[in-house]
Structure 1
Amino acid sequence: MAASHHSSVLDVEKHAHTDHTRLSNESVHSFSWNDIAVTVIDRHTKRPLGILSNVRGLVQAGEMLALMGPSGSGKTTLLNVLAHREATIGAAVSGRTYVNGAQSDSKDFRNLSGFVEQEDALVGSLTVQETLSFAARLALPRSVSKSERITSINALLESFGLREQANALIGTPIRRGISGGQKRRVSLASHLITSPKILFLDEPTSGLDSAASYEVMSFVRATARKYNILVIASIHQPSTTTFELFDQLLLLSRGKTAYNGPIAGIQDYFTSIGYEMPTYINPAEYIIQLVNIDFFLNQTEAIDRLNCIHLSWENSQQATTLQARLHDDQQSGAGPTFNHTHLSANPYLIPLTLMHRSFVKSYRDVVAYGIRIAMYGCLAILMGTVWLRLSPTQNNITAFTNAIFFGGAFMSFMAVAYIPAYLEDLSLYTKERLNGLYGPTAFMLANFLIGIPYLFIITLLFSVIAYWLGNFRPDADAFWTWVMWLFLDLLAAESLVVLLSSLIPIFVVALAATAFANGLWMCVNGFMVEPQTLNVFWRYVFHYIDYQAYVFRGMMVNEFGKRNYACDVVGGVCQCMYPSKLQDQCMIEGTVVLERYAFNTENTGKYVGYMLVIILGYRLMGWVVLYARKH
């Protein structure tokens, strides 16, 4: 097994394109950090609680550093600090990071580094090649030609052993795709498209078996060596073969350093401080167990042992050597010589690229819009057959009114089905924004524009079925006015979903919040209780900002503004429910129904304007939420 894996790494070295200058990476020769400390306020004691304490380190070009430690040791926090991300909410961070011996800042650092999340940020309905293509279009500068971009993609497919899977789907819950190890390789390749000088990996082997873990890290090692990439990876108990792929180890426990040096020196070091490593044991497993005191019955004894390990490191020759190397690096370093242009993709084309990616996803992934279209089609059949061929008589006035309410309110309510698809897009956006690819404006614009044609298709499908089955006012202008109101209704409902899901990006909570909001709008939209009799609080605080209220009002005017209804004739005598000018003709003017709700036929244009303001307002608030949530 091991021999076959080594041959695969050699194949990477053999077949990688030596003239692939996009991955040429000689401008960063060292990355170091000094005295990194992170402190938060303990919720119970309200006192400062140290998560990290005076952590130091140095990685050179082409090296891989394993960041290890028990759960709660501070690995993820340190990785975030080194990557210039938020350490944790409310944390106070001190210490400095250096590139080529010069202190780095967040803006420049984002342009030379890449961060691969623990969870793969991939669109399941794209192919492997499309995933890399969209990554390149989002990240590479406008000066890169299409042919150069294709060359970069082909080189990465070859280097990461993905040539045969180039046209395979990543995979969705409904459609099977590539394996877990291949997905991880695609994630890594999509980050390497921009030639990062420093690559951070958050648990790159999480969820993979030992063979897949070795396979993934072998490709990372080969790429790092060939293109002089600095790799820092948090990793949890790797197999022996995977562990040996790393050059350096930074072992943490309780936020302090237990070891920081070459992988090859681990056994000699721990033997020197009184912890001899058994011959037939995984070194990674042994040292994790050594510094993990969570399961000790005698915690006092365990803490004393851990303090001894920390003190031994601080007083060790290896720690002194590391400090000297850090001093030399930061004193003699000439500073960064890299070019900060690799993330300067054309900002005007980014929304188009996002729209293109969303379009491919939407027509391939049945969950995104296919299920919604089928759901609204079934709802239209339900509505059309319940309110089937209503005749324009006074007895059906209430039925027409109920149908109008149902059509608008439940079309709006069923927009909750968009929440899973949006949360998936939001998760991808969050990861890509943290890597500096684009911001909330491009995301919001693309999300809004790509939804318009699909929402119109849904509206038209629903209306063609429900409108004519229900026998609403049989005029072309009335039909298209109905379509317009339902289309605005869906735009507003989906904009509400975007706002609430951005504010609370947890499926169950977003679902509950959206359902509650729609229930509120149903109650105060003017159907349950006429607007003029609504409680003052509900009327002036919520009714006038209720988009369902304007949809209901507009659709009521559309139906009753230009239609008359026949009265009952009992024993040769005409009996009309509503008195009107047409009573002598045994008819009821539809406008008298509108008078009951205090609706008139003169302000529909103004109502459309209100709807557009509400839609824009939801989207703008959603943008503010995303802009404020920078991490």
Structure 2
Amino acid sequence: MIGSDYTLDLCNVFYSGQVEPGTCMQRVIGNIKTGIILKDVSMTVNSGEVLAVLGSKGSGKKALLDVISRRVQGPTRGQILLNNQPMSLCLFQQRCGYVTHKCDLIPGLTVEQTLYYTPTRLTGYLKKSKVKQVMADLALSQVSNRCVENLSKSEYRRLMIGIQLIKDPIILLLDEPTWDLDPLNTYLVVSILSNAAKKYGAAIVLTMEKPRSDVFPFLDRVLYLCLGDAVYAGGTRHMLEYFDAIGFPCPQLENPLMYYLCLSTVDRRSRERFLESNHQIAALVEKFKIEGGSYRKGTSISPSHVPEHKMPLLLGKIGSFNVAWTVYMRLLAASFSFRKEGLKQIFLRLFLTPIFFLFLWIFYNKMENYQQAIISKSGLILNSLAGVYFLGILNTVILYPTYRTRYFQESQEGLYGGTIFLLTYNLLSIPFSFVSVLASGAIVYPLMGSFEEPMEYLYFSLILWACYLFSEQQTMAILMIVKDHLSAAIFSIYITCVCLTLSSGILRSIKGLQEWLFHLTYATQARYAAAFLNRQVFLQPDLHNPLAFDAKHNCTNMNLIETSLLNGITNPYCRHANGQSFLSERYTRDQSDNIFNGILDFDLNIGITFAFSLGMIIFNMFLYLIPLPAFVKAKFRE
């Protein structure tokens, strides 16, 4: 790419969009205030040059970058040309880069890993060489093994730039790359960008709100914006000549960049100053439209020209398999990092659930097969179900948002879509959850009764695992549209609590539900999972014979027990003849019901429990393919 000539031209660009923030309801109904944000903006930048877009807040700097990158939603007019070819979204995504003001990188990865696991066309040795070259160019070699969460602001910004440079862009846009940096690091970042433009033959367009005088030599072109109007666009050194010619020479010892920025900014300190500055800026805009054409095309480096040699712009997309493999290896590298973030992920994914079940074992390990065991085992089933549901939610809201936000940002660059993202994330998460829940089941299953059949333990663990997967996928679906992880967790927990309360038959008997609530339970996974576990536990041989109340009180006269219960007489010691009697009380709605061929059917319950989990995974695949409204996407991607 070095030595290739590229020219980006903006010709009479207008853009209308939202001019002030609106409420969620206003966005939904379309009742938001819109206006013209960019007004007849024209500019040119060539390969190897750095163009600075200067202006105060609200001048339209970021809107200009979004128009060039084809990320805006409102109507645009005018032409955006790359080597005389219209700039399309596909062309920008393939050949250009955009460093946004905020970028959420994946914690646990080092600087070198972050660059290496960026999807590009390069692979193997070539990619490693490119990574080392970019780190050297950005002065990041000395921190190559440092995790991204431990970088300084300047190092983090340079890494964000490196993620785009690794893809060899011919046009690189940067939104406020020096924001909130000290003078030394501001100088460092701008000088690095200038060197990168010359070395890689890229045209760099960056926005700045407070330019310093020491960056003046690194800026080949400058564009001054005020409320969407271009006050000046052209060579940086020609700027002095132009403003001097129209009667606004820069005073000696003044920073010319800042001086003319103040000249192009509306003064709001008083009404008189506001009107005067508005009139002056309007005059400057009209003056540049009349006399600025030669300055816009000209440059202090080389005469403006349109390249005669046209290299192919579209190269074709990166292979889906290569992208998926890169994203998956990045997930593995972040998860198995033996640093703080990596260890946190390993703990949450592998050890948190077994620790919870270990606490359950401590509380329930002294159960004996008396009447109290009926209630205790029922409570253990409820706690086991609630544990996997809530821990699935907890792990998801802690671990998933970082990857989700990074996906939203990278999908806007056209690197990959929701299908690849969910496939790679599930390939990482599902094996972890399987091992974790399998170990958790081994801890508490001996408390349920006989441990003679290994398949019974496997069924028990698989049901818990299916519930874990469902809660995880349910929370991922909520996080699709809810940015705040706490709000998503509360909403997901609320749904789960309602389902457990109504459908499990543990906190409330199924037969006590109203008809419409009873039919509603068919649409919940908790109904089938709880029914399967209750059948598995309470039909064991240990709970088949009449159960004594305790070591001193027997319940041998079962006819007396059943007669007293039917007559409404409370037996002081014995409530349930056996496990089957308990199940009949919780699940029978009609005396003619055969609960073992209906609610407690073995094959039906295990099949539907897993069908819910698989269905939720497939639902998320489709959900992440649905185009979201712009105001929802903006919450995650900026």
TM tier, smaller = 0.7 to 0.9
Identity over the aligned pairs, expressed in percent?
A: 19
After superposition, where does 1:289-308 map in structure 2 within 5 Å? 289-293=262-266, 295-298=268-271, 301-308=273-280
Counterpart check, 1:262 vs 2:239 = no
The residue identity in structure 1 corresponding to 2:235 is P
Shift, 1:401, TM fit: 0.9
Counterpart check, 1:105 vs 2:88 = yes
The TM-score, its normalising length taken from structure 1, stands at: 0.84
Cα distance change of structure 1 residues 381 and 571 upon mapping to structure 2, 3 Å threshold: closer
Counterpart check, 1:534 vs 2:513 = yes
Counterpart check, 1:132 vs 2:132 = no
Shift, 1:232, TM fit: 0.9
The residue identity in structure 2 corresponding to 1:452 is I
Selected match of 1:219 from 176, 180, 192: 192
Counterpart check, 1:118 vs 2:118 = no
Selected match of 1:614 from 607, 612, 619: 612
- Give CA deviations for 1:456-492 in whole Å, capped at 9, x if unaligned: 2321332233334x45443333322221111111111
Selected match of 2:7 from 18, 30, 53: 30
In the aligned structure 2, how far is the partner of 1:74 from the partner of 1:55?
Answer: 10
Counterpart check, 1:435 vs 2:435 = no
After superposition, where does 1:11-30 map in structure 2 within 5 Å? 24-30=1-7
Query: Does structure 1 conserve the Cα–Cα contact (< 8 Å) formed by 2:482 and 2:488?
Result: yes
In the aligned structure 2, how far is the partner of 1:201 from the partner of 1:578?
Answer: 80
Query: Does structure 1 conserve the Cα–Cα contact (< 8 Å) formed by 2:266 and 2:274?
Result: yes
In the aligned structure 2, how far is the partner of 1:29 from the partner of 1:301?
Answer: 43
Residue of structure 2 in register with 1:525 after alignment: 503
Residue of structure 2 in register with 1:71 after alignment: 57
Shift, 1:62, TM fit: 0.6
Query: Does structure 2 conserve the Cα–Cα contact (< 8 Å) formed by 1:102 and 1:333?
Result: no
In the aligned structure 2, how far is the partner of 1:181 from the partner of 1:427?
Answer: 22
Counterpart check, 1:338 vs 2:309 = no
Selected match of 1:188 from 141, 149, 161: 161
Cα distance change of structure 1 residues 572 and 96 upon mapping to structure 2, 3 Å threshold: closer
Counterpart check, 1:593 vs 2:565 = no
Selected match of 2:367 from 376, 382, 390: 390
In the aligned structure 1, how far is the partner of 2:200 from the partner of 2:466?
Answer: 52
In the aligned structure 1, how far is the partner of 2:246 from the partner of 2:349?
Answer: 64
- Give CA deviations for 1:216-241 in whole Å, capped at 9, x if unaligned: 22222111112210111122313322
Counterpart check, 1:486 vs 2:464 = yes
The SS at the match of 1:164 is helix
**Unaligned 5+ residue runs, structure 2?**
564-574, 589-594, 634-638
Residue of structure 2 in register with 1:311 after alignment: 283
In the aligned structure 1, how far is the partner of 2:104 from the partner of 2:257?
Answer: 28
Residue of structure 1 in register with 2:444 after alignment: 466
Selected match of 1:557 from 535, 556, 559: 535
In the aligned structure 1, how far is the partner of 2:601 from the partner of 2:128?
Answer: 55
In the aligned structure 1, how far is the partner of 2:88 from the partner of 2:554?
Answer: 90
Counterpart check, 1:380 vs 2:350 = no
Cα distance change of structure 1 residues 537 and 315 upon mapping to structure 2, 3 Å threshold: farther
Task: Tell which deviates more after alignment, 181-190 or 193-202.
Answer: 181-190
Residue of structure 1 in register with 2:220 after alignment: 247
Query: Does structure 2 conserve the Cα–Cα contact (< 8 Å) formed by 1:99 and 1:335?
Result: no
Shift, 1:61, TM fit: 0.8
Query: Does structure 2 conserve the Cα–Cα contact (< 8 Å) formed by 1:181 and 1:208?
Result: yes
Shift, 1:201, TM fit: 1.1
In the aligned structure 1, how far is the partner of 2:79 from the partner of 2:15?
Answer: 12
The residue identity in structure 2 corresponding to 1:412 is Y
Cα distance change of structure 1 residues 571 and 227 upon mapping to structure 2, 3 Å threshold: closer
Cα distance change of structure 1 residues 549 and 211 upon mapping to structure 2, 3 Å threshold: farther
Shift, 1:334, TM fit: 5.5
The SS at the match of 2:117 is helix
Residue of structure 2 in register with 1:13 after alignment: none
Query: Does structure 1 conserve the Cα–Cα contact (< 8 Å) formed by 2:14 and 2:77?
Result: yes
Shift, 1:270, TM fit: 4.1
RMSD: 3.2
The SS at the match of 1:252 is strand
**Unaligned 5+ residue runs, structure 1?**
1-23, 172-176, 581-585
Query: Does structure 1 conserve the Cα–Cα contact (< 8 Å) formed by 2:547 and 2:555?
Result: no
The TM-score, its normalising length taken from structure 2, stands at: 0.83
- Give CA deviations for 1:244-273 in whole Å, capped at 9, x if unaligned: 422111121212222212222444444555
Query: Does structure 1 conserve the Cα–Cα contact (< 8 Å) formed by 2:369 and 2:547?
Result: no
Cα distance change of structure 1 residues 578 and 179 upon mapping to structure 2, 3 Å threshold: farther
Counterpart check, 1:574 vs 2:556 = yes
Task: Tell which deviates more after alignment, 472-481 or 49-58.
Answer: 472-481
Shift, 1:36, TM fit: 2.0
The SS at the match of 2:292 is helix
Query: Does structure 2 conserve the Cα–Cα contact (< 8 Å) formed by 1:416 and 1:515?
Result: no
* Corresponding pairs, count: 585
After superposition, where does 1:170-189 map in structure 2 within 5 Å? 170-171=148-149, 177-189=150-162
In the aligned structure 2, how far is the partner of 1:621 from the partner of 1:75?
Answer: 39
In the aligned structure 2, how far is the partner of 1:304 from the partner of 1:540?
Answer: 72
- Give CA deviations for 1:331-355 in whole Å, capped at 9, x if unaligned: 96659523433x6332123323222
Selected match of 1:57 from 43, 48, 55: 43
The SS at the match of 2:167 is coil
Task: Tell which deviates more after alignment, 615-624 or 245-254.
Answer: 615-624
Query: Does structure 2 conserve the Cα–Cα contact (< 8 Å) formed by 1:313 and 1:319?
Result: no
In the aligned structure 1, how far is the partner of 2:283 from the partner of 2:177?
Answer: 31
- Give CA deviations for 1:535-579 in whole Å, capped at 9, x if unaligned: 3444434x2232222221221122123344242267766255985
Query: Does structure 2 conserve the Cα–Cα contact (< 8 Å) formed by 1:37 and 1:53?
Result: yes
Cα distance change of structure 1 residues 325 and 271 upon mapping to structure 2, 3 Å threshold: closer
Cα distance change of structure 1 residues 145 and 38 upon mapping to structure 2, 3 Å threshold: closer
Cα distance change of structure 1 residues 95 and 540 upon mapping to structure 2, 3 Å threshold: farther
- Give CA deviations for 1:179-231 in whole Å, capped at 9, x if unaligned: 33222222222222221111111221234222122222222211111221011
In the aligned structure 2, how far is the partner of 1:295 from the partner of 1:532?
Answer: 71
The SS at the match of 2:415 is coil
Shift, 1:427, TM fit: 1.4
Shift, 1:103, TM fit: 1.8
Counterpart check, 1:420 vs 2:401 = no
The residue identity in structure 2 corresponding to 1:250 is L
The residue identity in structure 2 corresponding to 1:540 is H
Residue of structure 2 in register with 1:8 after alignment: none
In the aligned structure 1, how far is the partner of 2:576 from the partner of 2:32?
Answer: 75
In the aligned structure 2, how far is the partner of 1:532 from the partner of 1:336?
Answer: 77
Counterpart check, 1:410 vs 2:383 = no
The residue identity in structure 1 corresponding to 2:110 is T
Shift, 1:112, TM fit: 0.7
